[in-house]
Structure 1
Amino acid sequence: MYIFIYNGDINMNFKNEQVAELIQLNEDLENYFSNTIIPQLFVDANLRLRKFTPPAMKQFVLKEDYIGLPLNDIKENFRYPNIINNISTVISTGKMLEKEIQTTDMRWYQMNILPYITRKDNQTNGVIITFVDITARIKDLKEQEKLIMEHELLLDQIAHDIKSPLAGLYLTCDLIKIMPENKSPKFKLMTENLERGLVNIKKVIYDLTESRWAEQKYQAAEELLDLPHILEDVRLALAPQIIASNVHISQNIEVSEINFARRKLRSVLYNLLSNAIKYTPADRTPDIKIHSYQEDGYMVIRIRDNGIGIEEEDIATIFEKFKRVTSSADGSGVGLYLVKSIVKNAKGKILVKSKLGHGSEFKVYLPL
C-alpha cells in the first residue's frame, strides 16, 4: 500500500515566508540608507556605483542618475584621484583600507574602504565605503599644538626674561640705599617701599617659575599611551600637508606602549614630522620612516627623512630658541627648542645625524 502526502501548501507557505523575510530585510536596508547620517557608498566588483546614502549625495554632489555608472565617470566628485586604485586594492586583497580625503565642500573625512564579502563563496564582490567627518578633529589638533607651544614659551619668558631685569632693579635699589646724600627720612621711606614692592614681585615670579616650575614646565598628566594612536593623531593634524606633498610615511613599531603625557608626546612627534615634510625640496617626494624600539631602558623613536639635511656645524644649534638654520620654509624657530625641552624634562635625550642634501635622522630616547 502506498501513502501519498501532498505538500504543495507547505512549500507555498515556506516560500511566502521567505518572500516576506526578504521584503522585511529590504525595508530595513532602505530605512537604514534613508536615515543614516554617515555618507556611505556601495561599489560592486566591476567598479560601478550600486547605492549611496543621502549624506553622500550632499558631500560628493551625487545624483540618483549616477547609480549604475562606472566610478571612472564620477571620480572627480571625490577630490581624491586614487580612489579607484584603492578600491581595486581592497577587492584584490580583501583587506580594509583607511585614507583621509577632502570632499567637494572642503571638509576632511576619514575614508574607510571595507571589502563586501559574499558568505556563500567567501569572495570579495565589491566594497562598502564609509566617511567619518574629521574636520573638527584636525582643527582641534592643530589648535592644541599652537596652544602648547605658546604656553611653554610663556613659561620660558617668565622664567628667564623677567628674572634678569628684576635682579637689576634689586642691585639699583641697594646702590641707592648706600648713597651718602640720600639720608632724609622721606627718602628712606621711599626706598623701603621700593624694596618691599620688589620683594612682592620676586615672590610672584618665584611662585610661577621656581616653586611650581618642576610641576608645571612641560608637564601634564601621564598615562599609558599607544604610540601608533599618537602617530595617528599627528598624521591627522598634518593631513593637509601630507596630501599636498604626497608624503610617504612608513612605520616599524617594535615598542608601542609608554607612560607619558599625551599632548607632550604628540607635540614632539608633530614638530619632527612637520619639519621632515616642510624641509624636503619641492622636486622630491617626502619619504619618512618611523621606527620604535627598546634600548637600555629607553623607548627610542627614530625618524628618518630625505629632506634638505643640516650642515654639520649647525646641528649643535638647531635646538636653540628662535634658531633657524635655513629660510627655505616658513617657521618660528621654536619647534625643535620645544622638542628638546620636553625630552630633557622627561629625563630623555635626542640625537641627530644629518648630511646636507641627503636628509636627517632624529632619535628620541624616552625612559620606559
Structure 2
Amino acid sequence: MNKNKKISDLTQLNEDLENYFSNTIIPQLFVDANLILRKFTPPAMKQFDLKSEFIGMPLEDIRENFRFPTFISNINTVIATGKILEKEIQTTDFKWYQMNILPYHVRNENRTNGVIITFVDITPRVKDLKEQERLVLEHELLLDTIAHDIKNPLLVLKLTFGLMKEFKDKNSAKFLPLMQNHEKSLVEIKKIIDDLTESRWEKQKYQASTELIDLPNILEDVRLSLAPQLIETDAIIRQDLKVSEFTFVRRKLRSVLYNLMNNAIKYTPESQSPEIQVRSFKEDGYVVISVKDNGIGMGPEVQQTIFEKFKRATKMVDGSGVGLYLVNTIVTQAGGKIDLISEPGHGTEIKIFLKQD
C-alpha cells in the first residue's frame, strides 16, 4: 500500500511538472547534472528551434541552437557552486536575453542535480534605452545651441542697434521706424527662444521633473544600455552604494551615468579589461556619486578643458566630445558641482555632487 502511494505521488508530481512546462509562457529549460536536456517549455521550443527528439540528448550536441558561446560553462558553474546565476546575454542572432540559471537542489541528499534555465527577451528594452540616450543627447544639444549659439548673436545685434540709435540722423523719418521694426523683431525672436527653452519643452515627452530616484535601478538601465560594450571588453562593474534614494531628474541622471561609464569603457586600453567602481554617499548636503576607472587617465592640461564642448582626452578614441560637457552642464545647472581626479596611466575618478534640499 505504501509503495503504491509513493508511485501515485510520483505520478502526480510528474503530471504537475508536465503541466507546468506545457503551460509556461516564457522559454525555460530543465537540464540535469550530467548536462542532459530533460524538459523545455513550448516558448523555448519556438525561440531556440528545439524538437521533441532533443529530450534526453546531451547539451553539447545541440549547443548551436542556443547561439550563446558560454552557455554550457555557465550551467557547470551553477551546478558546481549551487548559486543562482543572472546575466544579460546576446545571442549570435543579435537578440538580448535576461538569463537566469537556478540550481535544482535535492535537499535530502544535499546536492545539485541540475538546473532550471529561464530566458526573458529584453531586446526591446535594450533598444529603447539606447534610443532614449540618443534623444536625450539631441535634446540637450538643441537646448544648449538655442541658449548659447543663438542668444549670444542676438545680444550682439541688440547692442549694435542700440549704438545705431545714437547716430545724428536718428530723427530721420525713415530711420526711426526702421529701427523700431528691427528692435521689435529681436524682442519677438528672444521671446520665442525663451518660451521654447523654459516652458514648451516641459510639455514634451522628456519632461525634466524632479522625482525620488532609485540609484540601483538607474544603474541597471545604464548597464543594459552599455551591455554590448561591457560584454565585448569583459568590463567589471563594482558598486558600493551608501545612498540609494534621493531626488533628481531621472533621465538626466541616467544620461550623466551613461556618459561617465561609457567613457570609462572607451578610455581603457585594449590590453586590459575595464574596471569601473561606482560609489554613492552623502557629504555636506550633497549626494555624491563617484565613477572611478582604470583607464588611460589624463594630465593637468587636458583636465582644464575636458568639460568644454567638443574637447576629448585623446583623438585616438571615437567620440563627439560632448559627453562630459553635457555631464557638467546637467550637474551645474542643477546646483551641483564636479570633482575630477586623474593621472596619466592611473585611471580617472569623477565625482558628481547633487544638491539636496
1:258 is matched with 246
Taking the aligned partners of 1:15 and 1:167, their CA distance within structure 2 comes to 93
Match of 2:350 in 1: 362
Alignment partner of 1:316 is 2:320: no
For 2:50, which of 52, 62, 65 is the aligned residue? 62
2:145 partner amino acid: Q
Per-residue deviation, 1:69? 2.7
Map of 2:129 onto structure 1 = 141
Q: Between Structure 1 and Structure 2, whose CA radius of gyration is higher?
A: 1
Q: 1:187 to 1:345 in 2, by over 3 A?
A: closer
Q: How does 1:38-117 map to 2 (within 5 A)?
A: 38-117=26-105
Structure 2 match to 1:36: 24
Deviates more, 1:65-74 or 1:207-216: 207-216
Distance verdict in 2 for CA 1:104–1:24, change over 3 Å: farther
TM-score by length of 2: 0.88
Secondary structure of the 1:200 match is helix
1:126 correspondence with 2:114: yes
1:205 and 2:177 correspond: no
The unaligned stretches of length 5 or more in structure 1 are 1-10
Q: Is the 8 A contact 1:349 1:364 kept in 2?
A: yes
Residues 211/236 of structure 1: CA separation in 2 closer, same or farther (3 Å cut)? closer
Contact kept? 1:60, 1:103, Cα under 8 Å: no
Native 8 Å contact 1:234 1:269 kept in 2: yes
Give identity over the alignment, percent. 65
Report the secondary structure of 1:174's partner residue. Answer: helix
> What SS class does the counterpart of residue 43 from structure 1 fall into?
strand
2:154 to 149, 166, 170: 166
Q: Distance in 2 between matches of 1:214 and 1:353?
A: 35
Equivalent residue letter for 1:330: D
Alpha-carbon offset, residue 157 of structure 1 = 1.1
Deviation (angstroms), 1:220:
2.4
Contact map agreement 1:279 1:328 (CA 8 A) in 2: no
Within 2, Cα distance between the matches of 1:184 and 1:346? 49
Aligned equivalents of 1:219, 1:187: Cα separation in 2: 45
Please state how far the C-alpha of 1:180 moved relative to its aligned partner: 4.1
Within the candidate set 315, 318, 333, 2:321 is matched to 333
Q: Following TM superposition, by how much is the alpha carbon of 1:260 offset from its aligned partner in structure 2, in angstroms? A: 1.9
C-alpha change, 1:192 and 1:350, in structure 2 (3 Å) is closer
> How far apart are 1:130 and its partner, in Å?
0.4
Deviation at 1:215, TM superposition (A): 12
Q: What's the CA shift string for 1:36-95, capped at 9, x where partnerless?
A: 331111111222221112222333333333322333333343333333332233223332
Distance 1:345 1:214 in 2: 16
Rounded to whole Å, the distance in 2 between the matches of 1:74 and 1:309 is: 45
Deviates more, 1:67-76 or 1:97-106: 67-76
CA contact (8 A) 2:280 2:289 kept: yes
Equivalent-residue separation in structure 2 for 1:349 and 1:171 (angstroms): 33
SS in 2 for 1:74: helix
Of 131, 155, 167, which aligns to 2:143? 155
Partner amino acid, structure 2, of 1:125: N
Q: Is the 8 A contact 1:60 1:104 kept in 2?
A: no
Aligned equivalents of 1:330, 1:214: Cα separation in 2: 33
CA shift digits 1:112-169 (9 cap, x unpaired): 1112123444542211110111111111111111111111111111111112221232
> Which runs of 5 or more residues in structure 2 are unaligned?
none
Preserved contact between residue 234 and residue 266 of structure 1 (Cα < 8 Å): yes
Distance 1:173 1:293 in 2: 52
After TM superposition, give the deviation of residue 178 of structure 1 in Å: 4.0
Q: Contact 1:77–1:104 at 8 Å: present in 2 too? A: no
Whether contact under 8 Å (1:99, 1:111) holds in the other structure is yes
